[in-house]
Amino acid sequence: MFKPRNIKLSQPECRAIAFQQCPAKTYIGPSGSKEIGRDVFQHCQIVGSVAAELVARMSSAISTQLFPEGSSLVAACHDIGKVSPTFAKKILSNTSGWKPEHTPELKGINADLEKGWGGHAGVSQVAAKALGIGEYIPEILGQHHGFAPSVDMYSADAEAFGGHPWQQERELLVDALKEALDCDWPIINNFEQARAIAGLTSVSDWIGSGSFFENPKQDWMPNIKQAVDDAGFTPPNVRPELSFSDVFPFKPHLAQAQFISQVTKPGVYILEAPMGMGKTEAALYAAYKLMAQEQASGIYFALPTQLTSNKIYARFNVFLKTILEEDCRHRRSLLLHGSAWLLEETEMGEDGRPGGAWFNSSKRGLLAPFAVGTIDQALMAVMNVKHGFVRAFGLAGKVVILDEVHTYDAYTGTILDALVKGLRQLQCTVIILTATLNQDRRQSLLGCPVVKQDYPLISALANNGPLQEHAVKVTSRLQLTIRLESDDNIALEEALNRAEQGQQVLWIENTVKEAQQRYFDLAARCYELGIDCGLLHSRFTAAHRQKNEDKWVSLFGKEGWPQRAEQGRILVGTQVLEQSLDIDADFLISRFAPTDMLLQRIGRLWRHTETPRHPHADCCAYILAPELEKSITQPQQAFGSTAWVYSPYVLCRSLEIWQQRQRLCLPDDIRPLIEATYQKRPETEPMSRWLHELEQGTRQRTGQRALKQSARITLATSGKTLPESKAQTRYSETDNADVLLLRSIDLVPDEKASHLLLLDGSTLILPWHRSRLDKPHWRKLAANLMSQVVHVRFAEAPEPLLRSMLIKAGFQHCFYLGNPEQDEALLRVAVVDKSSKLRGYQGAPINAQFYLSYRDDVGYHAEKIKE
C-alpha cells in the first residue's frame, strides 16, 4: 500500500505549544514595533462570535434554511491550523523581542515549508477531517482564504504538522471553542448550503481581523456589534405598504401590474417584453414587495457590462430614497458607483483594505444589501473561482435581477443556468428581464418544460410551486423601416446628412477596433459640419468612461431632450450601447449581428413617443450586412471581424431572416424572428459545415459542445480553484488585464514615496510604507488610482512588470498584486507620453505585437505591428 511521504520537521513525539499560547496575529505596538497579537483561541472566538452576530441579523426564513445551529463554530474553527509548528515559528520570528530559546518546541522548524500545503488553512482542513465531522466542513476550513490547499498527501498527525502532540492541541482547541460558543458542529444538507457557510466563514474572518480586535490587551467582546455595523451588515429598514405609484411617478401599465402580481415568494420569474416597456421598474417594485414582507434581504441588480451598470445608479438611488426609512443607514450612503464605492468606511480586515483581494467595488457590492454590478460577479458565485463562495454568501436571500438575458452564447448560458439553480438553493428570488429569449433558453433557465409562445410573456415558477405562464396584452406598437446596406460609405454619408439636419444618430459596431475606426472616419468631418461626435466602449479608464457616459447617455436620454434641437450628433459605440441604457436615437446604423443583438440595438431607436425629434426624422435603421450568398459560402470573408465575435452559422441564419425584411412591427415580430433564427433544422452544404463548426469547433474556435463542457468544468463542484483573472464568465470576453495608465512615475528616495502624474495632469504621492497614511487617506488614494485603470485583452496589454518593481514603487498598498503561488495576474503599468503612445515603466518592454496608445476621446487603442 502506498504511504505518502511526510516532510520531517521535528523530532518524533516532540512537545507542542499549548493552544492557549499559540499566536494568531501580530500587531504594531505603542512603540511602533511588531508585537505578538491575539492568540489563536481568542481570534477564533472573535470570528465565531462575528459569525453568530451576522446570522442573528438575518431573517429567520434565510437563517434557518442556510445557516443551521453550529455554523458559527465552523467559522470559529477556520484557524485551528495555526496551532502548528511552522505557523507559530513564522509569527514569532517576525516579532520584536522573541528569541529561539523562548520556544524550544520550535527548534529546527522551517516556516517557509508551509507554502507546500497551503499554509495554516491546509492544516485546518486535515485536522478537521481527522475529527470525522462530515464531507463539507473540512473543505470549508481549508478554503477560507479563497482557494483549495494542496493537502491530499497529508494526515492530521503528519510530522510536517507537528505530529500527534500538535494535533492533540488542535483537538483541545476545538473542544474549547465548542464550550465557548455553546454549540456543536452543524448538519449541512447540500453543496450550496456549504458554500453559504464557507462565505460566512471568510467574511467573519475578515471582520474579526479588523482594527476593532488588533490590540490583544483590550476586551474584544464589546466590539462585536460595532465591528459588524462598520462592515456594512446592518439590515435595511424598509417603509411598509408603498404602492407602485408611491415608488415611481406614474401608475403601472398592464404588463408591469401583471408581473408584480406574480412575484409573491422566492422563485424564478421571467419577464419577456420589448425594449422600453418598463421592465426595470416592474422588477424593482416586485423586489420591494418581497423585502417589505421579509422574504428578501436586499437587491443585486446584475447588468451585462460595467458601462451599462454605471448609468442605472441614479435611478436605483431614487428608488432607495423612496423605499427606505429616513434613519436607515443604507438610505444615507445609497449606492456609490465606480471608485466612489471604495471610499465607504467599511472595515473588512486585511482582504478588504486597499491592496487586499477584496478591495474592489465590483466585489464589495455583493456584500452590501443593495448593489448594481455586472452579471460576471454573480456568475462567479457558482464557479470554482477564488472567493466564489463569498459571492454566494453575499447573494444569499436577496432578489437577484438579471437584466438583458439573451439566447446567444452557449458558454455563458451554461454558467447562467447553474447560477439560477444555485440562487434558488440560496433562498434567492431570481428575476430575469429579457426582450429576446427563445423557448429553449427559457425552458433551460426555468429547469422545466414550457408551453406558451405568446409575446410579451410572464413565466412564474415560485419555489415548490408549478410553472405559470401568462400572456400580456400589447397596448402599443412601433413600425420601422429596415435597410440592409453592404457599403459602409453610403451609411457614413447618410449618418452625416441626417446629423447635419439635426438628428441624433447611433452607430454600433461589434468590436472596439471597428468602433474606433468609425470614429476616426467621422470625427474630423463632424467637426467641419458642426456635428457633435463621440465614442463609447469598454476600453476607457473609469474616470474617462464616466465622463463620456455622463455626457452621451444624458444627451441621448430623457435628460437631453432640452438640448436635442441644438445640433446633430453621432454617437459611435460597441455592444455596450445595446443593453440596459435608456437612450433614444432618431436614426440607427448597426453592423450585422445575431438576431437578438440586432433587436436589442433597434430597441434604442424611437424608444419614447414623447421624445422631441427633427421634423425630417423617420423611424429607420441601416444594417451593415454582406450579401447572403457570399455569406453562406465564405462567412469569414463576408462578415470580417464580426465572424470572430459571433458564430458564422448563427450570423448566416440571422441574415436569411433579415434579408427578407424591409419593415418591422414591434413587439409582434420579435418572437417569430428569434425562433426562426435559433430553431433547429437539418442543413445541407455549406450550412451543414458551419453548423458542424458551431457544435464541434475548429482549430481557431471552440465548439458549443466543448464550450458547455468548459463551462461545466469552471463550476464550483470540484477541481483546482481558479484565480479570478483566469475564470472566464464569457468565452468571447477576453478583457482581463488591468492596466494602470500614468503620465510619469518618479521614485523619490528622500521622501520614501513615488510621485505619480495622472492623465489629467494632477499629481499623487504614493508612500512606500503603509504607516504613512491613515485608512481614509489610503482609501482615497487607492480609489483615485483605480479610476486610472483600463481593462484590455491580455494580448494587447503591456508586458507584466516584475512584482519587485511594483512593490518598490508602493503599488501593493493600493492594488491587489496577486498571489504568485496561485498563478494570479499582476497589475500592468504603462506610461502615456505626450504623443499618446504607451511606454514601458523604467524602459520595460511594452508589447511586441501592437503599437499601443491612449486618448481620452478614443480610449485604449492597439494597432497591429506589420511584419
Domain extent for 602: 486-653
Are 761 and 795 members of one domain?
Answer: yes
User: pLDDT at residue 127 above 80?
Assistant: yes
Per-residue pLDDT at 464: 87
- Spatial CB neighbours of 540, under 8 Å, sequence gap ≥ 6: 548, 790, 856, 859, 860
Per-residue pLDDT at 720: 60
The 3-class SS string of 231-278 reads CCCCCCCECCCCCHHHHCCCCCCHHHHHHHHHCCCCEEEEEECCCCCC
Are 257 and 186 members of one domain?
Answer: no
pLDDT band at 211 (very low <50, low <70, confident <90, very high): confident
Per-residue pLDDT at 494: 98
More confident residue, 13 or 577: 577
Residue with cell 453543496: 191
Residue with cell 414582507: 293
Are 496 and 540 members of one domain?
Answer: yes
Structure-block grid coordinates of residue 555: 444627451
Nearest to 770 by CA among 355, 398, 253: 355
- Among residues 604, 624, 653, the one where a domain terminates is 653
Q: What is the pLDDT of residues 493-550, one digit of tens each?
A: 999 999 999 999 999 999 999 999 999 999 999 999 999 999 999 899 988 988 888 8
Nearest to 373 by CA among 321, 299, 323, 437: 299
User: pLDDT at residue 726 above 70?
Assistant: no
CB 23, CB 39: distance < 8 Å: yes
Average pLDDT score over residue span 556-571: 93
Per-residue pLDDT at 55: 96
More confident residue, 361 or 581: 581
Are 217 and 112 members of one domain?
Answer: yes
Residue 693 lies inside a defined structural domain of this protein: no
User: Any idea what the CATH number is for the domain that residue 47 is in?
Assistant: 1.10.3210.30
Are 115 and 218 members of one domain?
Answer: yes
Residue 148 lies inside a defined structural domain of this protein: yes
Question: Where do runs of H (alpha helix) occur along 603-746?
Answer: 628-633, 635-639, 642-645, 648-658, 670-678, 687-696, 704-714
CB 607, CB 619: distance < 8 Å: no
More confident residue, 501 or 343: 501
Domain count of the chain? Answer: 4
User: Any idea what the CATH number is for the domain that residue 576 is in?
Assistant: 3.40.50.300
- For CA atoms 344, 348, 350, 351, give the dihedral sign: negative
The backbone region for 288, taken as left when phi is positive above 0, alpha when psi lies in -120 to 50, beta otherwise, is alpha
User: pLDDT at residue 728 above 90?
Assistant: no
User: pLDDT at residue 737 above 50?
Assistant: yes
Quick count: other Cβ atoms within 10 Å of Cβ 323?
A: 24
- Among residues 230, 264, 296, the one where a domain terminates is 230
Are 519 and 628 members of one domain?
Answer: yes
CA distances from 432 to 281, 435, 450, 459 (A): 13, 10, 16, 10
Residue 684 lies inside a defined structural domain of this protein: no
Nearest to 560 by CA among 579, 583, 540: 583
DSSP states of 720-781 as a string?
A: PPBPGGG--SSTT--EEEEEEEESEEEEETTTTEEEEE-TTS-EEEEESSGGGS-HHHHHHH
- Among residues 630, 653, 676, the one where a domain terminates is 653
Are 263 and 201 members of one domain?
Answer: no
| Long-range contacts at 732-736 (CB < 8 A, ≥ 24 apart) | 732/409, 732/411, 732/645, 734/793, 734/794, 734/795, 735/538, 735/539, 735/791, 735/792, 735/793, 736/791, 736/793, 736/794, 736/825
Are 571 and 545 members of one domain?
Answer: yes
Nearest to 825 by CA among 849, 810, 806, 845: 806
Nearest to 598 by CA among 512, 535, 548, 666: 666
User: pLDDT at residue 343 above 50?
Assistant: no
Percent of the chain with pLDDT over 90: 61
Q: Report the alpha-carbon distance of residue 492 to residue 518 in Å, rounded.
A: 9
Q: Name the average pLDDT for the chain.
A: 87
Q: What is the pLDDT of residues 459-470, one digit of tens each?
A: 999 998 999 999
Per-residue pLDDT at 857: 95
Coil, helix or strand for 88? helix
Average pLDDT score over residue span 142-162: 87
Name the DSSP class of 13. T
Q: What is the pLDDT of residues 436-450, one digit of tens each?
A: 889 999 999 999 999
Q: What is the pLDDT of residues 776-829, one digit of tens each?
A: 888 889 888 988 999 898 889 999 888 889 999 999 888 888 765 555 556 899
Structure-block grid coordinates of residue 128: 478537521
Per-residue pLDDT at 382: 87
More confident residue, 137 or 96: 137
More confident residue, 573 or 771: 573
Q: Report the alpha-carbon distance of residue 669 to residue 210 in Å, rounded.
A: 57
Name the strand (E) or helix (H) holding 224: helix 224-230
Per-residue pLDDT at 303: 82
Q: Report the alpha-carbon distance of residue 198 to residue 62 in Å, rounded.
A: 16
Q: Report the alpha-carbon distance of residue 446 to residue 426 in Å, rounded.
A: 16
Are 299 and 441 members of one domain?
Answer: yes
Per-residue pLDDT at 543: 83
Average pLDDT score over residue span 139-161: 88
- Among 160-174, 259-273, 300-314, 808-822, where is mean pLDDT lowest? 300-314
Name the DSSP class of 45. H
- Among 132-141, 143-152, 507-516, where is mean pLDDT lowest? 143-152
Are 738 and 819 members of one domain?
Answer: yes
User: pLDDT at residue 125 above 50?
Assistant: yes
Are 446 and 509 members of one domain?
Answer: no
pLDDT band at 338 (very low <50, low <70, confident <90, very high): very low
Residue 509 lies inside a defined structural domain of this protein: yes
The 3-class SS string of 484-518 reads EECCHHHHHHHHHHHHHHCCEEEEECCCHHHHHHH
Residue 336 lies inside a defined structural domain of this protein: yes
The backbone region for 634, taken as left when phi is positive above 0, alpha when psi lies in -120 to 50, beta otherwise, is beta
User: In which order are the strands placed within the sheet that holds 663-666?
Assistant: 532-536, 569-573, 504-508, 587-591, 620-624, 478-485, 663-666
Quick count: other Cβ atoms within 10 Å of Cβ 598?
A: 27
Residue 830 lies inside a defined structural domain of this protein: yes
Quick count: other Cβ atoms within 10 Å of Cβ 794?
A: 13
User: pLDDT at residue 368 above 90?
Assistant: no
Are 465 and 509 members of one domain?
Answer: no
Nearest to 798 by CA among 750, 754, 749, 842: 842
Residue 10 lies inside a defined structural domain of this protein: no
What's the predicted TM-score (pTM) here? 0.86
CB 248, CB 281: distance < 8 Å: yes
pLDDT band at 102 (very low <50, low <70, confident <90, very high): confident
- Among 59-73, 296-310, 596-610, 727-741, where is mean pLDDT lowest? 727-741
- Among 36-40, 83-87, 404-408, 712-716, where is mean pLDDT lowest? 712-716
How many CA atoms within 13 Å lie on the side-chain side of 778? 23
Residue 3 lies inside a defined structural domain of this protein: no
User: pLDDT at residue 733 above 60?
Assistant: no
Structure-block grid coordinates of residue 845: 518592454
Structure-block grid coordinates of residue 124: 485546518
Per-residue pLDDT at 11: 41
